[in-house]
Chains A and B, each alone.
Chain A
Amino acid sequence: MDWFGLLFGPNGWSRLLLEGLAVTVGLALATIPFGFGFGLLLAILKLSKRRVVRGLCEAYTTFFRGIPDILALFIVYFGLNALLDRIWVALQFEGHLEMNIFVAGVIALSTVVAAYSSEVWVAALKSVAEGQREAAFALGLDRRKTFVFVTWPQLIRVALPGLGNIWMVLLKDTSLVSTLGLVDLLRAAHEANKNTGRPIFFFTVAALIYFAFSILSSVVQARLEKRANRGFA
């Protein structure tokens, strides 16, 4: 097995694999604010008093949790593209709307992550007693301060395990964008395989890298949970 040569030789694939890894990690990190953030927004809306708002959010969540992630990616990728383009043209702006494939990947992944995480956020929001907010108001804290100092610490403590699980799913789901043409780690391994005919080597390397990241994520999650739980019995 010419490991060294395959990776680092004159035609070595290590560079493409590293670039793929950068894309994978980049996708996952970029999805955090949009996916989890949008999920929190959805959760807040789900607790709204208006039935229509609740119904729409429930429908969104049910849809994206009930279909395969890869199908959701395809729908968002092709559908969003086509829809936005039609809107752009209907508004008669110059030329066409172009969406960078990385951005498209982030949007697609965020759509799915938002649906999954909204369930976690709802449970967390419900667990923060209403009384706390009222007490904070009574003490003179405005809405922003209440959220930052009272609601959020308790919220994140309950939500962290669930969000951690979703992060793991997200790490693995980034491999699905390889089917859309974005060159992530898995796609890089696949290209290397197609060119060299050594699937076992390259896919094992890719699998081990993903595994390493999932272990790293577990460690980080444990640390974060410990920190979020300080001050609680």
Chain B
Amino acid sequence: MLQTLQDLASFVFNVDLLRQYGWRLLEGLRITALVVCTSVTIGFVLAYFVCRARMSKNVVLSSAAAFYSTFFRGTPLLCLLYLVYYGAGELRPVLSQIGIWWFFRDAYYCCIFIFSINTSAYQSEILRGALAAVPKGQIEAAASLGLSRYRIDRHIVWPQAFLLALRPLGNELVSMIKASALAAIVTLLDLFGQTRFIFARTFDFSVYLYAALIYLVIVEIIRRLWAVMERGLSRHVLASAKS
């Protein structure tokens, strides 16, 4: 019985493996962080424009934006990744002519490209929901005070919308961290890629558990950070709620 328990313990954890391959996991983590930060930032910028397009009065623009966000939220990211990665290879002659083959040649850029588009679709919906949730009365009051459209947006709507969007955006960041693992499928050696590499060498199951642990720690850090940010930015709301 004790032997079985010991077997189970050593089955689950293996310290030698960490000593030999630990550096690979850290290197993978660096790549993951790079991919996530770049994609989320570009995605946010894209999301702003998509959101504006969606709320515009121009029917063509708003339907295009609606299709964009529905399509990229409704298809699996892995499918889109394969489409971009291998599709670019098929289009190589055309891309070379335009002079952007160097971009799609690299797996890293392919990943950033499609991850940014994917997260921008989700973020644009979050922003749209947040903008819609700002009380209409505020906009009307500001307008009656003679504030221009720009000033209303900049000083009244967006600050409140951003606060409302904070929690969902944090969830989206966590989502992106998890989705970034797909980059490993197209040869990128991010955290998940290094994990598969180590497993291919050692066939030791515990490497997957170490990777899981690292992801959990990262996600927990993000959640705590976000809670602090939320508290800090909504101090005025909490204060007035108390009084």
Contacts and interface: CB of A to CB of B under 8 A. Distances in A.
Interface of A: 62-63, 66-72, 74-75, 78-79, 82, 86, 90, 168, 171-176, 178-179, 186, 189-190, 193, 197-200, 203-204, 206-207, 210-211, 214-215
B7 to A, nearest CB: 8
8 contacts: A66-B174, A71-B211, A82-B11, A171-B76, A190-B82, A197-B90, A199-B89, A215-B74
B27 interface: no
B182 A70 contact: yes
A62 B212 CA distance: 11
Interface of B: 4, 7, 11, 70-71, 73-80, 82-83, 86-87, 89-91, 174, 177-182, 185, 192, 195, 205, 208-209, 211-212, 215-216, 219-220
A78 B208 contact: yes
B113 to A, nearest CB: 15
B76 A175 contact: yes
Most buried by A among B70, B212, B216: B212
Nearest to A178: B78
A71 B215 contact: yes
A82 B73 CA distance: 35
A211 B195 CA distance: 31
Given A66-B174, A186-B78, A206-B79, 17 more contacts: A67-B178, A67-B215, A67-B219, A71-B208, A72-B212, A78-B205, A79-B208, A82-B11, A172-B76, A193-B82, A199-B83, A199-B90, A200-B87, A203-B82, A210-B76, A214-B74, A214-B75
B35 to A, nearest CB: 12
Contacts of A66: 174, 215-216, 219-220
Contacts of A69: 178
Nearest to B180: A68
Contacts of B7: 86
Nearest to A79: B205
A186 B79 contact: yes
Contacts of A207: 75-76, 79-80, 83
Contacts of B215: 66-68, 71
B212 A67 contact: yes
Nearest to A203: B83
Which 5 A/B pairs are nearest by Cβ-Cβ distance?
A214-B74, A199-B86, A68-B181, A203-B83, A175-B76
Contacts of A214: 70, 73-75
B75 A210 contact: yes
A86 B5 CA distance: 12
Nearest to B215: A67
Given A68-B181, A70-B182, A70-B192, A203 B87 contact: yes
B23 to A, nearest CB: 20
A172 B80 CA distance: 11
